[in-house]
Structures are given as structure tokens and as C-alpha cells.
Amino acid sequence: MRNSLFPIDSMNRVVFLKNIITNKQIKIGDYSYYDDPVDPLGFEKNVLYLFDFIGDNLVIGKFCQIASSVKFIMNGANHVIGLSTYPFNFIGAQIEHPISNKKDTVIGNDVWIGYNATIMPGVKIGDGAIIGTNALVTKDVEPYTIVGGNPAQVIRKRFDDETISKLLDLQWWDWSVEKIRENANVLISGNISNLIE
């Protein structure tokens, strides 16, 4: 199943990303999907300013859910802010590219990114986080935290700290598919006690 293009045959607007990505700077975990009613195979168009000479990567974990029109702005969009912001290499000036050491953009496992959200360069989004529709994420998001707005602000944590710690220890996304299928109803129940049992 993880090697199929569409998770649901009758719904060709949702694709498993790992099976369509061609850019080596985009790394996708198993079962992460993209939903787009217009161009589900065109996910890479949403990863903007990803240039090989910068050397940054977009890393998306397993079991992520990404809505249409989500944008990932990569480090190639950055300009040096000095006396001028113009990229003088465009006119043949030999300058060092000071943004080449920027961090990768990393999306954890089981992250839900809502419609038209924008993720800025070098941001890290923790496991289990939810990014609201139209959010502009400019800084890191803690695991199992819901953020929204422009710029994105914390709305609330999904669980108490003890539950979050247990979920991060369990790392259910690394279980076998068979074990996940067996525990799917418990995973969506929100009851950590049942899952630990």
C-alpha cells in the first residue's frame, strides 16, 4: 500500500508524497499525503526557492497530512539585509552566499498542515502538531501543539505534558503497519491509557 500512488483508488485528489517526489532535497516519510483537488501530483510546485546551491532540505516525517495550497518557503528566498538587499550575483558580482548555512525545514511525524498554510525557512514542526488554515509559521512549533494565525501563535496543546511525553516515547509511527492497523481505533480515540495497554 505505501508504494501506491493514491491511498484510496476512487479518490485521486490525495497522493502519497513519497511516491511522486523527484527533487532529492525533499525527503518524505512513509504514508504522508497531499490533498489537492486540482493538481495532486504537483506538490513540488509548493516548495518555493529550493535551490541546490543553497543546500537546504525539506524533511517531512511519516503519516503527515498536508492540505492543498500549503507553501514551504525555503532558504533561497532569503536576501542579505545590509545597505542593500539586492542579490548582486545577478549582475555578475562575486559574493559569498551568506544564507547557504541556513537550517533544513523539518516537519515531524503525524503533523496536520491545514489549507493554505505557509511554512517559513528553517522552521521545525514537532510530532503531532496541527497547523491551522492560512497560518504563517515563522518559528518552531512544539510537539502536539496547535498553532494558527499570521504570524502563527500557539492556540493550545493537544494533550497535557505527561500524555505528550508518553506519545513521544511510543513513536507509534515507527510501528509495523499491521500493529498500527490493529490499534487504529485506539489511536484516534485520544485515550493514551488504552494505547499503552
Residue positions annotated with a catalytic role:
79
Residue 52's φ and ψ, nearest 5 degrees, are -65, -30
Helix H or strand E segment including 187: helix 184-189
Helix H or strand E segment including 193: helix 192-196
Q: For residues 59 and 85, is the Cβ–Cβ distance under 8 A?
A: no
Helix H or strand E segment including 194: helix 192-196
Q: For residues 34 and 66, is the Cβ–Cβ distance under 8 A?
A: yes
Sheet holding 136-137, edge to edge: 47-48, 71-73, 118-119, 136-137
Tell me the H-state helices in 93-183.
Answer: 161-170, 177-182
Three cell numbers written together for 109: 511525524
Question: 71: which strand partners?
Answer: 118
Q: For residues 22 and 55, is the Cβ–Cβ distance under 8 A?
A: no
Provide the residue type at 84 as one letter: S
